[in-house]
Chains A and B, each alone.
Chain A
Amino acid sequence: MELLSDLFLAKAAFIGIVFAITLGVAAYSTYFERKIAAFMQDRIGPDRAGPFGILQPLADAVKMFMKEDFIPANSNKWLFIAGPCLSMLTALMTSAVVPFGDTVTIGGTTFDLQGIDVNIGILWVFGIVSLGVYGILIGGWASNNKYSLLGAIRAASQNISYELAMGLAIIAILLFTGSLSTKAIVEGQQNGHWNIFYQPLGFIIFLICAFAECNRTPFDLPECETELIGGYHTEYSSMKLGFYLFAEYINMFISGAVMATLYFGGYDYPGIDFVTAQFGNNVAVFVGMGALIGKSLLFVFVFMWVRWTLPRFRYDQLMGLGWAGLIPLSMYNVVVTAFGILIGKPFTAGVVGVILLIVGLFVHDQLFVKKKIA
């Protein structure tokens, strides 16, 4: 590709905009996290910096930068620095394959509102998310602190466990689409044929796994304060700690975008034809981009909502849920979906599958589980 071609510039500008949106959302997630926590606890929350505390992220950033940047004496210095950088890098790279919108035509040139449309898009997401645990692992190991190391090990084993169920949940989606490209997955869901209607079970599995992959409550064992001080970022201070926290919020936003892409039709929204007819294609596409970001933000809210509702799992409960609960469930989901596609009625198969599952569990419960003695 020529370095200064229109396409290159457009891609650069688009990636810049996506980065800006992602970072802005991540910065303001910290503020909304505290605000939502406050509202759920009947408090007011941060309101000192600017009107309604709207400048709080700025104040936090200044605080982070002004703090002493401490590197422990016996740590592995370069890995210690590389850890948060890697976390941040992988968090930002995931957004490359998320299709933020259809094509727009500006000045006679057609642009794709997507970083890269690789034909293995969803595998890219998986690869980068798997790499993301390296940032935590390296940081925890380089700290030379047993709490950090424990946190890092927990993060690693948790991510590996939940990736399996996540992958199996996605296989059901891929059965529908027949393509790994995220763009194709979204295009298969246009006009309200969102995958959530065909894959309710798959979506629940994916949502739970996304919580685990982002290290969010109730799966925030890698940084669980009550047991591990700060987990993998115990030894971190200043902006290196800020990077870890920032990466977590970016991951939340991006996983929201991925969930919207896979299950909620991506940039599809009700009335897209009307908007296209009234205001032209470009406006409709940009509204679609807004719709996708809105869906992602809704997921960010759900992440926070769950955080301030549920307590943390015990580690064996976490592993039990992952290996004994979600993986069999997602395998069942794959079978049901495949059967539904085979008979050509995926929607009916999805509903019947859920009903069968509940009935089966109930029957099993009646037959094999010891009852309370009244």
Chain B
Amino acid sequence: MKLSNRTKVMEQGEMTLAERMYLPAIVGGMATTLKHFFSKPVTIRYPEQKRYLGPIFRGQHILKKDENGAERCTACGLCAVACPAEAISMVAEERKPGEEKLYREEKYAKVYEVNMLRCIFCGLCEEACPKEAIFLRHDTMVPVFNSRDEVIYGKDKLVEKMDQRYLREGLK
């Protein structure tokens, strides 16, 4: 059965004189390597240079704030439920009067922790979130950690800073 019309019938007979002398093939091979010698390398110096990984790369988590600087998360727990690796945990707290500037909803997450050793960066938390509060950044990866104390990321590391807001295309 023919799958395509591109099948080539290969025949291995006696080699011609040029083939038996190997020299033309060697010269051709040397030319190929010399061409690559002068071409640009495809690899990069990784930790110093980084590649753009695309607008939908799933990197480090961020807890978004709205345009007034109030946290969007309402501690509904849907992200924790959606998480297949059970990496997310949180403690909810009721918003006190006078805290409207800090928290957008009447309930907020007092503690919000992501265990980066458990997280598989699947992005299901992002999809589950009804408040558009948690995102996986496309521009930052979770840095290498050397001890288990650094593994659990609390709100101090996750909440967006107002002076360096995270925006990506298509995100208001």
Interface residues of A (CB under 8 A from B): 36, 38-44, 47, 305-306, 308-310, 361-362, 365, 369-373
Contact = CB atoms under 8 A, between A and B. Distances in A.
Given A42-B36, A42-B43, A47-B45, A310 B13 contact: no
Nearest to A204: B23
B7 interface: no
Contacts of B44: 44
B37 A373 contact: no
B130 interface: no
24 contacts: A38-B41, A39-B36, A39-B37, A39-B38, A39-B41, A40-B33, A41-B36, A42-B39, A42-B41, A42-B42, A42-B43, A43-B41, A43-B42, A44-B43, A305-B33, A305-B37, A309-B26, A310-B29, A361-B17, A362-B17, A365-B16, A369-B17, A371-B14, A373-B13
B37 A372 contact: no
A309 B30 contact: yes
Contacts, number: 52
Interface residues of B, number: 22
A36 B30 CA distance: 13
B168 to A, nearest CB: 30
Contacts of A43: 41-43
Interface of B: 11, 13-14, 16-17, 21, 26, 29-30, 32-34, 36-45
Nearest to B12: A372
A306 B43 contact: no
Per CB-CB distance, the 7 closest pairs between chain A and chain B, nearest first, are: A372-B13, A365-B17, A309-B33, A40-B33, A42-B42, A309-B29, A39-B37
A308 B26 CA distance: 12
Contacts of B34: 305
